[in-house]
Amino acid sequence: MTGSTTLTGIGSTPRTGVGTARWYRPGADLTLPDRPDPSTVAPEVERERFEAAREEAREAIRLARDRAEVRDGDEEAAVFDAHEAFLDDPGIVDDVESAIDDGTPAEHAVHDRFEAAIEQFEGMDGRMAERADDLRDVRDRLLRALLDAPTPTDLSTLPAGTVLLAERLTPSDTAELDPAAVAGIATVGGGRTSHAAIIARSLSIPAVVGVGDALGEVPDGAEVLVDGEAGEVVVGPDEDRRAAALGGNDVPVVTESVSTADGLAIEVAANVGSGAEVSPAVDRGADGIGLFRSEFLFLDRESPPSEEEQYEAVVAALEAFPDDRVVVRTLDVGGDKRVPYLDLPEEPNPFLGRRGIRLSLEEHADLFETHLRALLRAAAHAGGSDAGGIGGDDRDGDSDRDGGDLAVMFPMVSRVEEVDAALDRVESVAADLAAEGTEHAIPDLGAMVETPAASFLADALAARLDFLSVGTNDLAGYVMAADRENDAVADYHDPLHPAVLRAIGRTTTGAEGTDAWVGMCGEMAGDPELTELLVGLGLDELSMSAVTVPAVKERVRAVDSAEASELADEVLACETRVEVRDVLGLDG
């Protein structure tokens, strides 16, 4: 290509970046050997190889899932649940084993069966077609194990200013990227709802997908501009286009707190999954951290982090936001979130099993105590050194809790008894620290509202706690009994269903008359088109991926809270999702 050339695709992440093109071709080393005579193949040996490859792939998928969950959030991490399901899909496994029994080597049997499935998916429409990338991801993991092929280029070590070009990227590929190094992504294939595109958005990486074969003509080393808003890839951009891209993204960053047009203060915070994400949250003007996923401290290691490690990680986040609040979610593992060394239970339906606070109060009580010790010590660092009481009559929203800008919330709450038990544990840990003469304080304490039970019990929970935080991703799944990774019920997993909206409304109403504030830390909070509705529903705080903080802050400033309340009332009266979207003026 010569001069400036513009290629058109599908904008995935509404940001713009400029950098140096680098092609990624991970399938080049997955060439299959010639097929042998079937009579020379030992089916028992090939079955064993296939089973070993499945287990190797399963372990890698679970590790990728855990990493994605703590860095990118539940929705992005759930991508890998679908990948593991493919490993156990009887329609795939049985066909591969049948081919092996007929004298086909394991690698050829895997290749053939997955190619057939990929072709089938690509023949479908919409989101189903984009699931073909998930099949490719699983296929390549199996083939690498069977062929003993080297791992592809380590995408986590790309040089700064890289614009990554690829035929397509799998979710595993995208999850490895360092958003500080990658200036943009452009792919030949893929769609906006592909799992790789979803992860790219969560990482705030400018991305354009589905550019087509013309992208293949872009050489390594070319200067490339990726405009994820316009859906354009510009090769050799002129100086004006380049300057505009480098001048900023989206709306201007607003560092101060914001209020609605009529003066109602709304906190706009960031969700953070690792220490590396704290600085970008500051840069995007976040009013603190509304969800600090403590799970990241427990990954990529062979044993749990020490009390001191946990303390230092939380203190670092507090120091990054000296004038704002940092909300730490206590360890949220179990069920679908695996940490190998914790020996978590295998369950037939992990989403309805032992996870979050259920594990912390039972199997992992010792781990929970260490966790709380670190948090109470960090609370003293944030804003005080005297432990406030939370027992008995103090559980009425008017306690003497001290701790400045640190807040702690318990995940997967579904019973008042769980909250009472958790508060008792906090009180017990505080007493132990006081007896030791260790400086500590009791932070604000809250609960995640991600189950229908928590929504129904919001009044009782708010009377005992300082705040509630609505996790819309899980709440939508539990309210609608819909698996977010099951495309057959994708329309059910939508936070704009009237039932989900009423659960949110019940939560904010339940907190009325108490001193508890109510926030939201699900993906819904980061959609500027929904900001007016969420203000009208009574949310005091919205927490989201850092990339959308400026746009939401801008939208908050334009909201009239009285009009927002009227809008919320109208939406809550709707009986169908179509009616809700019509009231909100949304397409689809």
Token look-up 């990658």 returns: 182
3-state SS assignment for residue 446: strand
Radius of gyration of the chain (CA): 25
Euclidean distance between CA atoms 376 and 416, whole angstroms: 22
Please state whether beta strands 258-259 and 265-272 pair in parallel, antiparallel, or not at all (unpaired): antiparallel
In this structure, the dihedral spanned by the alpha carbons of residues 133, 134, 138 and 139, taken in order and rounded to 10 degrees, is: -30
574 is a catalytic site residue: no
Amino acid occupying residue 550: P
Cα dihedral sign, 183-187-190-192: positive
| Burial class of residue 376, CB neighbours in 10 A (0-12, 13-18, 19+) | buried
Cβ within 8 Å of residue 390, ≥6 positions away: 399, 401, 423, 426, 427, 442, 445
Please confirm, yes or no, whether 371 is among the known catalytic residues. no
Q: Which residue, 411, 518, 424, is CA-closest to 473?
A: 411
Non-local (6+) Cβ contacts of 44 within 8 A are none
CA 548 to chain centre: 14
Element (H, E) at 22: strand 16-24
- The closest alpha carbon to 219, from 3, 6, 20, belongs to 20
Question: How many CB atoms sit inside 10 A of residue 446's CB?
Answer: 26
392: CB partners within 8 A, 6+ apart: none
Q: Which amino acid is at 382?
A: A
Return d(Cα 553, Cα 482) in angstroms, integer.
31
Of 83, 371, 493, 521, the active-site residue reads 521
Catalytic residue among 83, 108, 195, 364: 195
> Residue 32 region, left (φ>0) first, then alpha (ψ -120 to 50), else beta?
beta
Residues with a catalytic annotation lie at 195, 521
